[in-house]
Chains A and B, each alone.
Chain A
């Protein structure tokens, strides 16, 4: 079975866990199996024994990652991992163990265990599904997450802050330890001191280059389609690559194979619709999610003529078809399309789009091998319009990608899973073209030549249970990256800074010719050592290389920023990542906590000269600088769950620093000293509280605090021509804007209604105590030539919203 399928199954991990814990009597069908392992009076004189094995589909032997195994008397619950493997600690003698998984009949195993042993647990498919059962509380157990990985189910997303009444992936992720953003209205997330373009974002294997709508106000993913969000914060399995910081894998649900149903959500700024059902019962299903905003409509309500003439809207659509071709074969296709359009009066207009298609085929071979093949063909396109004056023009940039991924999972032995595969990524980037529009435009058409590259990866990943307490993962990813023509290659005077004045020659590279080849071996090593069943130590070392970078010479990436491929002058960025963590569960399983430390060093990171020109620059290397970076810190997390409450608290200390030191001052930043990156926010605190008043009413509160982001401030001023007071700036990022903090609350009523329609209302207040957090800080001279500092705040007052949803 492929990794794609495995991820799909993992989507139900927490749901299944809770179903077993909270609703043991809701099982659809219970079969009881009696198994004896060892015999009484066995030579092993132990009070407890370890049972391990895999959870499999009965007939096809398909592994079932995410299946939950619960020891009924002790409430011990474990979840089958990616390879369907589990491990239980059982008392000597008889134990009742229930095994459940969405879409499968629950099976009870009566185990008589007298020694350590292995047992594969089998489940039969059920025609009924458990998906519709509502769950209200959720325990986070990071010790059971994969090494270096954290997961968030849709229920956990629901318990976090809602912006405009909707759950939001990116905002929810920011409540995790080690994840932050630059500020209000910024795009993307920063993971452990990494840049926003250093995150590999996959949504059902669609490569997502811009994960947000409306300049970061909304996440791209349809809230009702999300099944599970997994974030790898450093320790990435070898099957993932191309990014330095993290892997964000958003798993969307598959359509129901048996019944049609759907949902509709109406908010004050956007609405969403979902429909799913069988195309052929028990064989082929579909699901489609649509979402659209009416920010545009809000603007039209303004009395301000300029706003009335403005436009701000987005929409997205996700379509999936999954087919069970045979017991051992599954295939599917999905399509994702997004669109954002903005216009402000008659001055500026821009839009951006993502279009992506995925097709997959999965095959189970025998009992030990799963094969999968995935194709992803997508593009990201942005247009920036100058619609005023005699420079009327349209600037376009886009990137197209074709990804082909083949993966084989081979269960070599009970305690050894091997994953091998290959991934080929072909990128075509149009760095920029400008065309005039309007009869009066003075602009002449200009287009920079296409850039192309091919990235071929081979990877192997071994997951081995060395002992009952020790699990190790050893992976290797090998990449051959070719920067391809056509291109004009400029040559510069040796020993001098790369500037346009130092260009001495140029040569033309023909189409498809190799301009530069880079090869990298990236080792991935990690371990997990269970001390006593409740305490686990995890650690790892990863190396990652990034070939595709976003050129954002601003604090936050803009949706119209360019994507830049590694080429002759722009070598890939390379990171070495170290992490070590301690995880602890209480005996009652109601309290768990962890502490992580991490260190990351980056070579070849991209920075920018002062006043760099990024748009329409046919020798962009003259405006870029290369340096090195380091990020280090510690994360602390605690989760306490009770019958009706759930409390999480996390504190992260992170430093993210850079050094750009070249032979000339022109090519150095801050005279070559280490300085804070734009997203260096040392202290981040998050606290989430969830309370279930009744089965149909719940309350949640989310608090966040972070150190203000770095900024460059004027430290002096000079006047030129008796007109301009030109500031003299400090070293880059020498100061910080004020700290950020905010409290959000939400109150949810529902679901209520009959079997046909279920309704829910969510009220939320963003920024309850009206904190004026700085969106930006700017500086102006006062009459005494003193520099005054001003703060612009957005969402600077409590912002209420309401969202109504109906499921049918």
Chain B
């Protein structure tokens, strides 16, 4: 809800406009530590990544000591997975709603990093999933307007009566079915999306919510393309969070959507919940999240799209494409039908 969303489109529409690349010499020699990680109230393998950002690049920080502590001083030691991902520290664990957690990191150069202790809040329930097909206008890099159709999944969220309503964030991954042409071998593949979150960044503040039920909330938006030719499954995670984390993600969203127009606020550096104990003016980038989580799956079948159905990807003219010859060439694909697949 912002004038700046509208202004460039109006000006583009009415007058001649274009986008081109220009040279602007930007360089910054400063080195910054980046920390990010999350724990939640479900048993899972959680990871905390530590990197250094300098000269437009990211470099992993190895051999750090990483502990998550709760409000009873119970320590959860995260161990670096050097073989698979240097600078990534992992642990299988489960958090407890109502308990407070923070992370302590000692880097190899003896820098002590701590996050602000955060209480794990219970995630509310979701229900009434549905989807619609919606049109959206965007401007491409050539300045042309493009109208695209999206699958928009919605749901209701029911907050608990009389309790503090947490702020929310949805992360959604996807999985879809792919059929080779029937007269060849008729293999069906099940392909997991490579993107860990199909959303750009979907967060919600309950501050202006009337009542305890949030109805028709947008959960995820995805381009309607051949992935929807047969069956698509959305794996939805809804995380609860406190106001500080919400403000962090809102700042991230603002930064990511900043196009530097006259109607954009000046971009700033997103400040997380981590501090360098040895030097509090040193800016540590990133966030350590402590959340409750609610998970759900939602299927979109080709039939449910009605008139907005999508033609199968291996129609006439496309049958010689490699995936139509062997769908296993698609990354993250498998012939094993998931147990939850209808």
Q: Is there a chain B Cβ closer than 8 Å to A647's Cβ?
A: no
Contact across chains for A727 and B267 when beta carbons are under 8 A apart: yes
Q: Is there a chain B Cβ closer than 8 Å to A778's Cβ?
A: yes
Q: Which residues of A contact B218 (CB under 8 A)?
A: 389-390
Q: Which residues of A contact B54 (CB under 8 A)?
A: 716
Q: Which residues of A contact B24 (CB under 8 A)?
A: 713, 735, 737-738, 777, 789
Contact across chains for A350 and B6 when beta carbons are under 8 A apart: yes
Contact across chains for B16 and A304 when beta carbons are under 8 A apart: no
Contact across chains for A185 and B11 when beta carbons are under 8 A apart: yes
- Which residues of chain B in 6-49 are interfacial with respect to chain A, using CB atoms and an 8 Å cutoff? 6-24, 26-28, 30, 32, 34, 36
CB distance from B270 to the nearest CB of A (A): 6
Task: Please tell me which one of the listed residues A183, A711, A715, A790 contacts residue B19 in the complex, with CB atoms under 8 A apart.
Answer: A790
Question: In the docked arrangement, what's the CA distance between A385 and B2, Å?
Answer: 9
Residue interface bits A388-410, CB-to-B below 8 A is 1, else 0:
01110101000000000000000
Task: Please tell me which one of the listed residues B28, B147, B262 contacts residue A185 in the complex, with CB atoms under 8 A apart.
Answer: B262
CB distance from B150 to the nearest CB of A (A): 12
Contact across chains for A712 and B266 when beta carbons are under 8 A apart: yes
CB distance from A323 to the nearest CB of B (A): 42
Nearest-CB residue, chain A, relative to B244: A501
Task: Please classify how large the interface on chain B is, using the bins under 10, 10 to 19, 20 to 34, 35 or more.
Answer: 35 or more
Contact across chains for A555 and B264 when beta carbons are under 8 A apart: yes
Q: Which residues of B contact A304 (CB under 8 A)?
A: 13, 137, 145, 147
CB distance from A267 to the nearest CB of B (A): 13
Question: In the docked arrangement, what's the CA distance between A440 and B286, Å?
Answer: 36
Contact across chains for A789 and B22 when beta carbons are under 8 A apart: yes
Contact across chains for B3 and A560 when beta carbons are under 8 A apart: yes
Contact across chains for A714 and B26 when beta carbons are under 8 A apart: yes
Most buried by A among B12, B15, B22, B215: B15
Q: Is there a chain A Cβ closer than 8 Å to B123's Cβ?
A: no
Nearest-CB residue, chain A, relative to B28: A715
Question: In the docked arrangement, what's the CA distance between A384 and B4, Å?
Answer: 12
Nearest-CB residue, chain A, relative to B51: A718
Contact across chains for B5 and A347 when beta carbons are under 8 A apart: yes
Q: Which residues of A contact B17 (CB under 8 A)?
A: 775, 792-796
Contact across chains for A306 and B21 when beta carbons are under 8 A apart: no
Q: Which residues of A contact B10 (CB under 8 A)?
A: 215, 310, 312, 342, 344
Q: Which residues of A contact B326 (CB under 8 A)?
A: none
Question: In the docked arrangement, what's the CA distance between A775 and B16, Å?
Answer: 12
Contact across chains for B27 and A791 when beta carbons are under 8 A apart: no
- Which residues of chain A in 768-790 are interfacial with respect to chain B, using CB atoms and an 8 Å cutoff? 772, 774-779, 785-790
If A304-B147, A389-B216, A721-B36 touch, whether A775 touches B56 (CB-CB below 8 Å) is no
Residue interface bits A710-754, CB-to-B below 8 A is 1, else 0:
011111111111111011111011010110000000000000000
Question: In the docked arrangement, what's the CA distance between A796 and B17, Å?
Answer: 6
Question: In the docked arrangement, what's the CA distance between A791 and B259, Å?
Answer: 10
Question: In the docked arrangement, what's the CA distance between A389 and B154, Å?
Answer: 10
Contact across chains for B265 and A611 when beta carbons are under 8 A apart: yes
Q: Which residues of B contact A793 (CB under 8 A)?
A: 17-20
If A348-B2, A384-B1, A775-B11 touch, whether A726 touches B22 (CB-CB below 8 Å) is no
CB distance from A230 to the nearest CB of B (A): 28
Q: Is there a chain A Cβ closer than 8 Å to B318's Cβ?
A: no
Contact across chains for B27 and A306 when beta carbons are under 8 A apart: no
If A443-B208, A729-B267 touch, whether A715 touches B27 (CB-CB below 8 Å) is yes
Contact across chains for A215 and B210 when beta carbons are under 8 A apart: no
> How many A residues face the partner with a CB closer than 8 A?
96
Residue interface bits B240-273, CB-to-A below 8 A is 1, else 0:
0000000100111011101111111111111100
Question: In the docked arrangement, what's the CA distance between A720 and B38, Å?
Answer: 11
Contact across chains for A794 and B262 when beta carbons are under 8 A apart: no
Q: Is there a chain B Cβ closer than 8 Å to A465's Cβ?
A: no
If A386-B1, A717-B56, A718-B51 touch, whether A795 touches B260 (CB-CB below 8 Å) is no
| Main SS at interface, chain A | mixed
- Which residues of chain A in 94-150 are interfacial with respect to chain B, using CB atoms and an 8 Å cutoff? none
Which of B95-103, B193-201, B228-236, B300-308 lies on the face that meets chain A? B193-201
Q: Is there a chain A Cβ closer than 8 Å to B58's Cβ?
A: yes
- Which residues of chain A in 684-714 are interfacial with respect to chain B, using CB atoms and an 8 Å cutoff? 711-714
Q: Is there a chain A Cβ closer than 8 Å to B186's Cβ?
A: no
Q: Is there a chain B Cβ closer than 8 Å to A558's Cβ?
A: yes
Contact across chains for A716 and B56 when beta carbons are under 8 A apart: yes
Question: In the docked arrangement, what's the CA distance between A715 and B285, Å?
Answer: 14
Nearest-CB residue, chain B, relative to A554: B263
Contact across chains for B215 and A390 when beta carbons are under 8 A apart: yes
- Which residues of chain B in 185-225 are interfacial with respect to chain A, using CB atoms and an 8 Å cutoff? 195-197, 201, 208-211, 214-218
CB distance from B95 to the nearest CB of A (A): 18
Contact across chains for A785 and B57 when beta carbons are under 8 A apart: yes
Q: Which residues of A contact B286 (CB under 8 A)?
A: 718, 720
Q: Which residues of B contact A386 (CB under 8 A)?
A: 1
Q: Which residues of A contact B147 (CB under 8 A)?
A: 304-306
Nearest-CB residue, chain A, relative to B23: A789
Contact across chains for B135 and A558 when beta carbons are under 8 A apart: no
- Which residues of chain A in 175-207 are interfacial with respect to chain B, using CB atoms and an 8 Å cutoff? 182-186
Contact across chains for B266 and A716 when beta carbons are under 8 A apart: no
Contact across chains for B267 and A794 when beta carbons are under 8 A apart: no
Q: Is there a chain B Cβ closer than 8 Å to A610's Cβ?
A: yes
If A444-B209, A444-B210, A777-B260 touch, whether A720 touches B252 (CB-CB below 8 Å) is yes
Q: Is there a chain A Cβ closer than 8 Å to B53's Cβ?
A: yes
Which of A295-303, A591-599, A626-634 lies on the face that meets chain B? A295-303
Q: Which residues of A contact B208 (CB under 8 A)?
A: 434, 442-444, 446
Q: Is there a chain B Cβ closer than 8 Å to A665's Cβ?
A: yes
Contact across chains for A787 and B263 when beta carbons are under 8 A apart: no
Contact across chains for B21 and A790 when beta carbons are under 8 A apart: yes
Q: Is there a chain A Cβ closer than 8 Å to B339's Cβ?
A: no
CB distance from A518 to the nearest CB of B (A): 28
Contact across chains for A728 and B137 when beta carbons are under 8 A apart: no
Nearest-CB residue, chain B, relative to A185: B11
Question: In the docked arrangement, what's the CA distance between A268 and B10, Å?
Answer: 16
Contact across chains for B26 and A776 when beta carbons are under 8 A apart: no
Contact across chains for A785 and B56 when beta carbons are under 8 A apart: yes
CB distance from A637 to the nearest CB of B (A): 28
Question: In the docked arrangement, what's the CA distance between A399 and B1, Å?
Answer: 21
If A442-B210, A555-B264, A776-B8 touch, whether A719 touches B58 (CB-CB below 8 Å) is yes
Q: Is there a chain A Cβ closer than 8 Å to B281's Cβ?
A: yes
Contact across chains for B16 and A342 when beta carbons are under 8 A apart: no
Contact across chains for A721 and B196 when beta carbons are under 8 A apart: yes
CB distance from A481 to the nearest CB of B (A): 29
Question: In the docked arrangement, what's the CA distance between A410 and B282, Å?
Answer: 65
Q: Is there a chain B Cβ closer than 8 Å to A262's Cβ?
A: no
Question: In the docked arrangement, what's the CA distance between A446 and B49, Å?
Answer: 41
Q: Which residues of A contact B209 (CB under 8 A)?
A: 442-444
- Which residues of chain A in 568-606 are interfacial with respect to chain B, using CB atoms and an 8 Å cutoff? none
CB distance from A169 to the nearest CB of B (A): 20
Contact across chains for A384 and B3 when beta carbons are under 8 A apart: yes
Contact across chains for B259 and A792 when beta carbons are under 8 A apart: yes
Leading 3 A-B pairs by shortest Cβ distance: A610-B268, A715-B28, A444-B210
Additional A-B contacts beyond A442-B215, A610-B266, A716-B32 (11; CB < 8 A): A298-B14, A306-B137, A348-B5, A440-B215, A444-B211, A559-B3, A611-B250, A718-B285, A776-B264, A789-B23, A796-B17
Please list 17 pairs of residues, one from A and one from B, whose beta carbons are closer than 8 Å in the complex, sorted by A's number. Answer: A184-B11, A215-B3, A306-B135, A389-B216, A442-B216, A444-B210, A611-B251, A611-B254, A611-B265, A716-B54, A716-B55, A720-B34, A720-B287, A726-B255, A774-B22, A775-B17, A794-B17
**Which A residues lie at the B interface, using CB under 8 A?**
182-186, 215, 295, 298-299, 302, 304-307, 310, 312, 342, 344-345, 347-348, 350, 384-386, 389-391, 393, 395, 434, 436, 440, 442-446, 553-556, 558-560, 608, 610-612, 665, 678, 711-724, 726-730, 732-733, 735, 737-738, 772, 774-779, 785-797, 799
